[in-house]
Amino acid sequence: MEYEMQKEILEQPRSLIKTLKAENSHLKQISEELAEMDRIFLVGCGSSLSTCYSAKDAINMVVDSNVDVYTGYEFYYHKNIDLENTGVIFTSQSGETADTLAALRKANDLNLKTISITNEEDSSMMKESEEAILTRCGREKAILGTKTYITQLMCLYKLLFEAQDSSTSKEILKELHNIPSLMEELIKTTREDNKKRALELKDEDIFYCMGSGPNYGLAYKLAMTMLMEGALKHACPLYSGEFRHGLIERVEKNVPVMFLDAGYPGDKVTLKGIQFCENLGTKNIIFRMQDYSNINNILSPFVLVIPLEWFTYYLAHYNGEDPGNTRHIGKVRY
């Protein structure tokens, strides 16, 4: 049986190409303005929040940046801002996420520079932001986010790295344009292995998900939206360095632990976690970027998300679930 999510996985490379073609010069123009800002906030919820985490950790690995991340409601309720020369980038697939939209309106009231990245041209965020970037994905139906995730992440990387003048930033920007063709290949080559992996693990009920640097954002997405929303499994995301605070006392033999490894300096602790879990006899599920690509490892989330999408797709399928459906999302309004 095929679900809507499969179609949307396959559409990701084309969505990236269309978004880059339409928005590239606009992204560069906004980046020039961001380069003059004293502070930049990234705001989102759910899958969109995960892109903010990855983008922030990516830029911080290259420069000493002034970038912070907030959920929509934390920015709205709890953030005191006294800097005028501040830019805020809001991410939302629908452009109507209630708490992100409230945060946007607060930023507008404070006369901050507001930029929205959304997939809906007629959305409130598209209309109310000072600048708006439209991802060209078409309508996305599967709840966990595939093509909107990857295009949002691409836009955030472009905005933040274009604002920097370093050789590493230039290298990353150059390699970003190769992501669509790489993704096309990964969609073909990673499907069967992760279909088998999902079949082996279909009866597991809880997954711990760990990553460092930009891969923490992907671990957050994996746990919060892919496994919990898409596959209806219990899941918990962790920075790899936090493994020894809490989870180290909870992991047991045969418990699934998912590790995202890109060879970052911080992945020294990821490897220590892997070794500890191997000694305990846990079910280690390791996704190593170097098994899929040799591009700059700061781009790891663009690479590892594809095998993780296939794993989630088939994990849901083997449990009789449509990975694009929801049970309760949208029923709670605040």
Which of the four pLDDT bands, split at 50, 70 and 90, describes residue 144?
A: confident
pTM for the predicted model, two decimal places: 0.95
Which of the four pLDDT bands, split at 50, 70 and 90, describes residue 65?
A: confident
The class that CATH gives domain 193-317 is alpha beta
Average pLDDT in the 229-240 region? 93
Average pLDDT in the 105-122 region? 94
Residue 121, Cβ neighbours under 10 Å: how many? 11
* Residue pointed to by tokens 């597991």: 204
The whole-number pLDDT of residue 334 equals: 45
Among 118, 122, 59, CA closest to 89? 118
How many angstroms separate the CA atoms of 149 and 48, rounded? 7
Q: Looking at the predicted structure, is the pLDDT value of residue 50 above 50?
A: yes
Which of the four pLDDT bands, split at 50, 70 and 90, describes residue 331?
A: very low
The whole-number pLDDT of residue 1 equals: 65
Among 52, 244, 78, CA closest to 155? 52
Radius of gyration, CA atoms only, the chain: 19
The whole-number pLDDT of residue 327 equals: 62
Domain with CATH 3.40.50.10490 in the chain: 4-177, 193-317
Print the SS3 string covering the chain. Answer: CCCHHHHHHHCHHHHHHHHHHHHHHHHHHHHHHHCCCCEEEEEECCHHHHHHHHHHHHHHCCCCCCEEEEEHHHHHHHCCCCCCCEEEEEEECCCCCHHHHHHHHHHHHCCCEEEEEECCCCCHHHHHCCEEEECCCCCCCCCCCCHHHHHHHHHHHHHHHHCCCCHHHHHHHHHHCCHHHHHHHHHHHCHHHHHHHHHHHCCCCEEEEEECCHHHHHHHHHHHHHHHHHCCCEEEEEEHHHCCCCHHHCCCCCCEEEEEECCCCCHHHHHHHHHHHHHHCCEEEEEEHHHCCCCCHHHHHHHHHHHHHHHHHHHHHCCCCCCCCCCCCCCCCC
User: What's the chain's average pLDDT?
Assistant: 93
What burial class does residue 171 get, using C-beta atoms within 10 Å of its C-beta: 0-12 exposed, 13-18 middle, 19+ buried? middle
Q: Looking at the predicted structure, is the pLDDT value of residue 323 above 90?
A: no
The whole-number pLDDT of residue 140 equals: 84
| Fold of domain 4-177 | Rossmann fold (3.40.50)
Average pLDDT in the 24-38 region? 95
Average pLDDT in the 115-140 region? 95
Angle of the 214-221 helix axis to the 47-60 helix axis, nearest 10: 170
* Residue pointed to by tokens 């010069």: 25
